[in-house]
């Protein structure tokens, strides 16, 4: 079966900001397609898109949810993508395998900015998409449509084209004019809109909007341009074909509107998807997947479901995938089609179809699967973590269970990351924000029966010396039989920041034999793991310059102990100081929020703005460069999103260590003492 066949199933992803109504839109699309006997409600927690416990608890999508249906004899899989930016990893994976994307927004020009990152991703990856302005039942929304379009165009690289205009009665939108056919329709909830006479009051607006639509299409079609210049009215089928071609090639973006709540404009949207979405073969070509005879499927989502086990959700690009067959080195044990939380058994799946494959233990999200093994396909990199929690089990003996459970969560969601900190002995879970991490904790409890305590991770402070000294360390212990004897003189001095640790020996005359040099160094290194302030010591130079030994009682252990004694006694004379890690942060924001981002930095202890510049490839965006102490980073992402309508983001990396003095340093040292006392 060809991936470009007219009978090939297609995939439409539905994406939009939190509260834009995208979950309600998928519910409405399924309802008008006859896949649902009645619509559910987000408030009641009974929609297809919000099937998980975490989604119901928060009344928001927290993972991509799938449902298959048929409309006008065409098979579709709809994917409701999370609206919160904290769950963007799942969204990008769904967008990658979609044939077309519906970008949902509400009729408020000021909120158009919230879809900017999504439109940028779609434009960069040349993914065909349409815009659906939802919630048009709101009074006055019809009058704002042009302003909304203008605001959206400001954040889109592709030209946006209205393909319908509203018919208004007072401040209510009651129908629309199709700019391709020039037919007028009155909304009739849940059914085909009624064909009505084109109102004379909208004729001037209709003529202007249609002409603009044709001019946009003519930008990509010389023949249509000639017709327009010659005042020739192009035939409807030519306009429709041009529109479909341009959408499939991601040259322009149709804009439609309606109300998911009232099923207004939903059938028109579904008809647009049927007419203009490319088929799986074209999508595979866009992704760089070569043609071939061997069947090929790609994993775009992994789920560890209760009572079911691991499910690998795949889009079939070539050939046929059958239950029991071997793909990617694993034997498929069970195949299902998904409809929210419901599963329907499948025996096989062909090109374009989406299926959940059971028991594919060695398969990961993004993998390309063939009968002969795995193939590498293009796939987005995991998002950099923004926020972290240190996790501790409440029951003894649950540590292993916690490790395996976290591994499963990270397999489901690549934007989660687990770190085992050897220095602080903490198990740290990194995520994209507060809701993201809380959702992970909820899943640990609901799926794996794990109650965990959590708190912010310890900051990896260091300490160093500011003065040099020479110190004597002597270890002598006599017992029955052989005793212990080690005797060293050490010179200790500070090094420049970032130089690390240096050790040398300057022994003259063999007062300390060479075979004990390594023991002295090991003693120093061992001592440096916890200095006088309670933290690892860095950036010092230690030289072994003198000492003595005993032919019988000296040993590696004795010299190692002597070195530790010398470091312990010498460190107060070296004036130890605390060092805190400083991160270099690159904050990405729309230019209108640049000053707010700068104030966010300077409002934090030790925050330093280095400058800002235009963000490469992003029209109207800036990147603010800054230094921020790691101790001040814990809630930066929370504040940044609240300042920027949720679209601000940052990347970070450790940059340098910097002295911390005064009360701030005293608080850190005291907190470490208390932590050690209660450990």
Q: What is the pLDDT of residue 633?
A: 95
Strands 576-590 and 462-465: antiparallel
User: How far is Cα 564 from Cα 570, in angstroms, rounded to an integer?
Assistant: 10
Is the CATH code 3.40.190.10 the one for domain 390-455?
A: no
Among candidate residues 297, 280, 286, the one with its CA nearest the CA of residue 374: 297
Written as six digits, the tokens of 335 are 């195949």
pLDDT tens column, 608-657:
999 999 999 999 999 999 999 999 998 999 999 999 999 999 999 999 99
CB 224 within 8 A of CB 238: yes
Q: Is the per-residue pLDDT at 91 higher than 80?
A: yes
Non-local (6+) Cβ contacts of 481 within 8 A are none
DSSP tag of 295: -
CB 296 within 8 A of CB 319: yes
List the strands of the sheet with 194-196, edge to edge. 164-169, 172-178, 184-186, 194-196
- Half-sphere exposure of 490 toward its Cβ, with a 13 Å CA cutoff? 33
Non-local (6+) Cβ contacts of 480 within 8 A are none
Q: What is the pLDDT of residue 44?
A: 79
CB 280 within 8 A of CB 317: yes
CATH of span 463-574 = 3.30.230.10
85 pLDDT band, cuts 50/70/90, is very high
Among candidate residues 34, 87, 93, the one with its CA nearest the CA of residue 60: 87
Question: How many other CB atoms are found less than 10 A from the CB of residue 159?
Answer: 15
HEC sequence for 75-143 = EEEEEECCCCHHHHHHHHHHHHHCCEEEEEECCCHHHHHHHHHHHHHHHHCCCCEEEEECCCCCCCCHH
Q: What is the pLDDT of residue 391?
A: 97
Q: Is the per-residue pLDDT at 259 higher than 80?
A: yes
For the ranges 200-204, 367-371, 668-672, the one whose mean pLDDT is highest? 367-371
Sign of CA dihedral 304, 308, 312, 317: negative
Q: Is the per-residue pLDDT at 253 higher than 50?
A: yes
**Span 585-591, average pLDDT:** 97
**Span 244-252, average pLDDT:** 97
Written as six digits, the tokens of 6 are 């007219």
Least confident of 35-44, 71-80, 155-164: 35-44
**Span 364-368, average pLDDT:** 97
User: How far is Cα 430 from Cα 434, in angstroms, rounded to an integer?
Assistant: 10
User: How far is Cα 566 from Cα 677, in angstroms, rounded to an integer?
Assistant: 25
In CATH, which of 3.60.15.10, 3.40.50.10490, 3.30.420.40, 3.40.50.300 is domain 10-285?
A: 3.40.50.300
Q: Which residues pair with 546 in a beta bridge?
A: 489
89 pLDDT band, cuts 50/70/90, is very high
Non-local (6+) Cβ contacts of 663 within 8 A are none
User: How far is Cα 621 from Cα 119, in angstroms, rounded to an integer?
Assistant: 14
Written as six digits, the tokens of 640 are 């940044």
Indicate if 463-574 has the same CATH topology as 10-285.
no
CB 174 within 8 A of CB 264: no
**Span 266-273, average pLDDT:** 96
Least confident of 217-221, 242-246, 295-299, 424-428: 424-428
Non-local (6+) Cβ contacts of 105 within 8 A are 16, 17, 20, 111, 112, 114, 115, 131, 132, 133, 134, 148, 152
Q: Is the per-residue pLDDT at 387 higher than 60?
A: yes
pLDDT tens column, 539-558:
999 999 999 999 889 999 99
423 pLDDT band, cuts 50/70/90, is confident
User: How far is Cα 27 from Cα 261, in angstroms, rounded to an integer?
Assistant: 9
CB 294 within 8 A of CB 320: no
User: How far is Cα 57 from Cα 47, in angstroms, rounded to an integer?
Assistant: 13
Task: Give the predicted TM-score (pTM) of the model.
Answer: 0.91
Q: Which residues pair with 393 in a beta bridge?
A: 452
Exposure letters 524-537 (e unless 16+ CB within 10 A, then b): bbebbeebebbbbb
DSSP helix/strand/coil, 178: strand
Among candidate residues 259, 249, 169, the one with its CA nearest the CA of residue 217: 249
Question: CA-CA-CA-CA torsion for 64, 70, 73, 75, nearest 10 degrees?
Answer: 30
**Span 67-91, average pLDDT:** 95
User: How far is Cα 570 from Cα 4, in angstroms, rounded to an integer?
Assistant: 77
Q: Is the per-residue pLDDT at 1 higher than 50?
A: no
Non-local (6+) Cβ contacts of 479 within 8 A are none
CATH of span 289-375 = 2.40.30.10
Tokens 């006997």: give the residue.
Answer: 37
What mean pLDDT, rounded, does the chain reach?
93
Q: Is the per-residue pLDDT at 2 higher than 60?
A: no
Written as six digits, the tokens of 65 are 């949810």
Q: How much of the chain exceeds pLDDT 90, in percent?
A: 86
Q: What is the pLDDT of residue 5?
A: 58
CB 321 within 8 A of CB 347: no
User: How far is Cα 163 from Cα 272, in angstroms, rounded to an integer?
Assistant: 10
Q: Is the per-residue pLDDT at 403 higher than 60?
A: yes
User: How far is Cα 317 from Cα 336, in angstroms, rounded to an integer?
Assistant: 17
Backbone angles phi, psi at 129, to 5 degrees: -155, 160
DSSP helix/strand/coil, 54: helix
- Please report, for the chain, the start and end positions of each structural domain, with discontinuous segments joined by +: 10-285, 289-375, 390-455, 463-574, 579-674
Q: Is the per-residue pLDDT at 6 higher than 70?
A: no
User: How far is Cα 471 from Cα 522, in angstroms, rounded to an integer?
Assistant: 17
User: How far is Cα 577 from Cα 540, in angstroms, rounded to an integer?
Assistant: 12
Q: How much of the chain exceeds pLDDT 70, in percent?
A: 97
**Span 276-292, average pLDDT:** 94
User: How far is Cα 141 from Cα 52, in angstroms, rounded to an integer?
Assistant: 33
CA distances from 641 to 560, 587, 599 (A): 52, 11, 14
Among candidate residues 253, 273, 258, 254, the one with its CA nearest the CA of residue 106: 258
Among candidate residues 531, 631, 641, 623, the one with its CA nearest the CA of residue 585: 623
CATH of span 579-674 = 3.30.70.240
Q: What is the pLDDT of residue 626?
A: 98
What is the H or E stretch that residue 215 is in? helix 203-218
């Amino acid at each position: 079966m060809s991936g470009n066949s007219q009978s090939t199933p297609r995939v439409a992803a539905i994406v939009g900001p939190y509260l834009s109504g995208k979950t309600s839109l998928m519910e409405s699309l399924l309802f008008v397609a006859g896949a649902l006997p009645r619509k559910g409600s987000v408030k009641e927690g009974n929609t297809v898109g919000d099937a998980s416990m975490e989604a119901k608890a928060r009344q928001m999508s927290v993972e991509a949810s799938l449902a298959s249906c048929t409309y006008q004899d065409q098979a579709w899989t709809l994917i409701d993508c999370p609206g919160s930016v904290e769950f963007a990893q799942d969204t990008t994976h769904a967008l990658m395998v979609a044939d077309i994307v519906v970008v949902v927004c509400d009729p408020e020009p000021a909120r158009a900015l919230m879809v900017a990152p999504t439109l940028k991703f779609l434009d960069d990856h040349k993914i065909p998409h349409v815009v659906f302005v939802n919630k048009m039942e709101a009074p006055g929304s019809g009058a704002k449509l042009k302003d909304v379009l203008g605001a959206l165009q400001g954040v889109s690289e592709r030209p946006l084209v209205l393909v319908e205009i509203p018919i208004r009665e007072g401040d209510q939108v009651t129908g629309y004019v199709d700019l391709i056919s020039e037919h007028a329709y009155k909304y009739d909830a849940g059914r085909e809109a009624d064909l009505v006479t084109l109102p004379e009051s909208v004729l001037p607006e209709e003529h202007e909007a249609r002409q603009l639509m044709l001019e946009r299409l003519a930008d990509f079609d010389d023949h249509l341009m000639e017709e327009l210049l010659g005042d020739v009215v192009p035939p409807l089928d030519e306009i429709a074909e041009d529109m479909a071609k341009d959408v499939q090639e991601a040259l322009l973006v149709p804009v439609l509107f309606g109300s998911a709540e009232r099923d207004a404009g939903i059938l028109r949207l579904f008809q647009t998807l049927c007419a203009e979405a490319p088929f799986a073969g074209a999508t595979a070509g866009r992704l760089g997947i070569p043609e071939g005879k061997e069947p090929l499927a790609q994993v775009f989502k992994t789920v560890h479901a209760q009572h079911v086990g691991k499910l690998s959700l795949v889009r079939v690009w070539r050939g046929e995938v059958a239950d029991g067959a071997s793909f990617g080195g694993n034997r498929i044990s069970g195949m299902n089609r998904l409809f929210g939380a419901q599963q329907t058994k499948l025996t096989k799946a062909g090109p374009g179809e989406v299926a959940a494959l059971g028991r594919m233990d060695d398969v990961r999200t993004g993998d390309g699967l063939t009968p002969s093994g795995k193939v590498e396909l293009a796939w987005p990199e995991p998002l950099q973590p923004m926020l972290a929690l240190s996790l501790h089990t409440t029951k003894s003996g649950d540590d292993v269970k916690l490790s395996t459970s976290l591994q499963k969560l990270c397999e489901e969601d690549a934007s989660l990351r687990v770190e085992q900190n050897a220095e602080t002995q903490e198990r740290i879970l990194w995520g994209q924000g507060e809701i993201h991490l809380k959702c992970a904790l909820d899943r640990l409890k609901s799926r794996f029966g794990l109650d965990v305590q959590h708190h912010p991770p310890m900051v990896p402070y260091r300490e160093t010396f500011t003065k040099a000294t020479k110190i004597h360390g002597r270890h002598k212990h006599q017992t029955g039989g052989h005793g212990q004897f080690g005797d060293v003189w050490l010179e200790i001095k500070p090094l420049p920041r970032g130089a690390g640790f240096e050790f040398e020996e300057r022994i003259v005359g063999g007062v300390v034999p060479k075979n004990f040099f390594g023991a002295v160094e090991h003693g120093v290194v061992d001592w440096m793991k916890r200095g006088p302030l309670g933290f690892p010591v860095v950036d010092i130079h230690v030289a072994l310059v003198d000492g003595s030994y005993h032919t019988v009682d000296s040993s590696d252990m004795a010299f190692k102990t002597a070195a530790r004694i010398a470091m312990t006694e010498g460190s107060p004379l070296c004036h130890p100081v605390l060092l805190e890690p400083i991160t270099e942060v690159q904050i990405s924001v729309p230019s209108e929020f640049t000053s707010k981002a700068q104030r966010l930095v300077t409002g934090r202890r030790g925050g330093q703005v280095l400058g800002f510049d235009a963000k490469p490839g992003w029209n109207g965006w800036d990147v603010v460069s800054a230094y921020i102490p790691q101790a001040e980073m814990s809630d930066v992402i929370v504040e940044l999103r609240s300042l920027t309508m949720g679209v601000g983001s940052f990347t970070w990396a450790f940059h340098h260590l910097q002295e911390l003095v005064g009360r701030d340093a005293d608080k850190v040292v005291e907190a470490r003492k208390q932590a050690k006392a209660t450990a």
